[in-house]
Amino acid sequence: MTGLPWFAYRDGQLCAEGVPLTKIAAEVGTPAYVYSRAALDDRYKTLAEAFAGLPVLIAYAVKANASLAVLRRFGELGAGADVVSGGELQLAVKAGIAPGRIIFAGVGKTREEMALAIKAGNTGIAQFNVESEPELQALSDVAQSLGVQVPVAIRINPDVDAKTHKKITTGKAENKFGIPHSRALDVYAEGARLPGLKMTGVHVHIGSQLTDLTPFAETFERVADLVKSLRAAGHDIRRVDLGGGLGIQYNDETPPDVRAYADLVRKHIAPLGCEIALEPGRFLVGNAGLLLTRVTFVKRAEEKTFLILDAGMNDLVRPAMYEAYHRIVPVKAPNPDAPLMPVDIVGPVCETGDTFAQARPMPPVEQGDFLAILSAGAYSSSMASMYNARPLAPEVMVHGDRFAITRRRPSIEDMTALEIAPAWSSEAKA
């Protein structure tokens, strides 16, 4: 009934693999993120199999879910990582991902972050994805000061419309990302003149949650042409990084089949004979996790009914930020004949935007019931905050009929551990 094989009803109870969610709630409380290890494995293997026979580096986009338990599992499965900060770089290394399989992207890398990546594991990372000319200069300076030359890909903005939500589209000319396609040859020439850089790659990423292959096809064609022009201009392009963006099913979308996506790569990119890097985030984790929550109150107002949950926008900001749809289902299997009634499903945070769903048809739900907000594996925990002094929700990994708490719920001491009372205050004297 959830449409997700890893989260199905058994004996009237929603389970994560073999574990009833009520058991997890009893042990860790709610809200809590619950991940299925089998789902991570399945998504990774499905992607890897679609690209079988091609020289591909699957660099998991850490921003989608930076839990060490998730990173470790992908590391074990053979993934590399796409990181966008010194913090993500250190997490990936800590999780056992070799620096030689790490790609560093992002529009605003600081010189300190560049140095960290150059020094990682003594050999440095696989590739820097550079987004601007000042960044080229800065990276060359840092590399030179450390006595090395670093492999660079320029992120090309192909000016393709990804037809996704405006806040997650990145490949249009008006977006802040990358270098215009028309300037690519000039910028590569500039990079080649800088002593700290080796211009060995091309990078594109046009947006996230793409549910149509056409923008990918247009982009790959442009990239292939560009690689040919760059080679003709004398650049030794060895790696094409195609970014992430493959959509998943949240509701009634029909995301592209991953094999069809791989076929596009085979058609347009494989003939170039380069290594191919992919940066999937959402595809690998989005449907591998849910947010387990409990109904604190059912509030019957004159015009509508609100289900007030113990999870809020600080735990899952996607509906508030992108009008994103997440399916929400009761943990106790509803009676199939029960009538569906429209309800507003909201969190406890003091913001009207703290709304998960409006006029959502739901079976009867009572105070104290558990609900599961589905497809919360990507951009949920990683975008969480402690707004309203709410503790970060714990994370649980399920494996068969076992589960492990991979991040506990912080206490108020944990939440204030970094705070320092100024010397002049009474707390400092106490």
Binding residues (CB under 6 A) for ligand LLP: these are: 61, 64, 82, 105, 168, 205, 208-209, 243-246, 279-283, 318, 322, 379
Least distance from ligand LLP to the Cβ atom of residue 131, Å: 9
Question: Shortest approach of ligand LLP to residue 90 CB, angstroms?
Answer: 19
CB of 246 to ligand LLP, least distance (A): 6
Burial of 68 (0-12, 13-18, 19+ CB in 10 A): middle
Specify the residue, 124 or 243, whose C-beta has the smaller distance to ligand LLP: 243
Active-site option among 52, 232, 301, 350: 350
One-letter-per-residue 3-state SS of the chain: CCCECCEEEECCEEEECCEEHHHHHHHHCCCEEEEEHHHHHHHHHHHHHHCCCCCEEEEEEHHHCCCHHHHHHHHHHCCEEEECCHHHHHHHHHCCCCHHHEEECCCCCCHHHHHHHHHCCCCCCCEEEECCHHHHHHHHHHHHHCCCCEEEEEEEECCCCCCCCHHHECCCCCCCCCEEHHHHHHHHHHHHHCCCEEEEEEECCCECCECCCHHHHHHHHHHHHHHHHHHHCCCCCCEEECCCCECCCCCCCCCCCHHHHHHHHHHHCHHHCCEEEECCCHHHHHHHEEEEEEEEEEEECCCCEEEEECCCCCCCCHHHHHCCCCCEEECECCCCCCCCEEEEEECCCCCCCCEEEEEEEECCCCCCCEEEECCCCCCCHHHCCCHHHCCCCCEEEEECCEEEEEECCCCHHHHCCCCCCCCCCHHHHC
Minimum CB distance to ligand LLP, residue 103 (Å)? 9
Euclidean distance between CA atoms 184 and 206, whole angstroms: 16
Q: How far is the CB of 335 from ligand LLP (least distance, A)?
A: 33
Q: Which is nearer to ligand LLP, 29 or 151 (CB)?
A: 151
Least separation in angstroms between CB 401 and ligand LLP: 30
Residue nearer to ligand LLP on the CB measure, 216 or 403 = 216
**Nearer CB in complex with ligand LLP: 101/205:** 205
**350 labelled catalytic:** yes
Of 156 and 349, which has the nearer Cβ to ligand LLP?
A: 156
Rounded to the nearest whole angstrom, what is the least distance from the CB of residue 15 to ligand LLP in the complex?
A: 26
CB-nearer residue toward ligand LLP: 61 or 230: 61
Q: Which is nearer to ligand LLP, 20 or 244 (CB)?
A: 244
Q: What positions carry a catalytic annotation?
A: 350
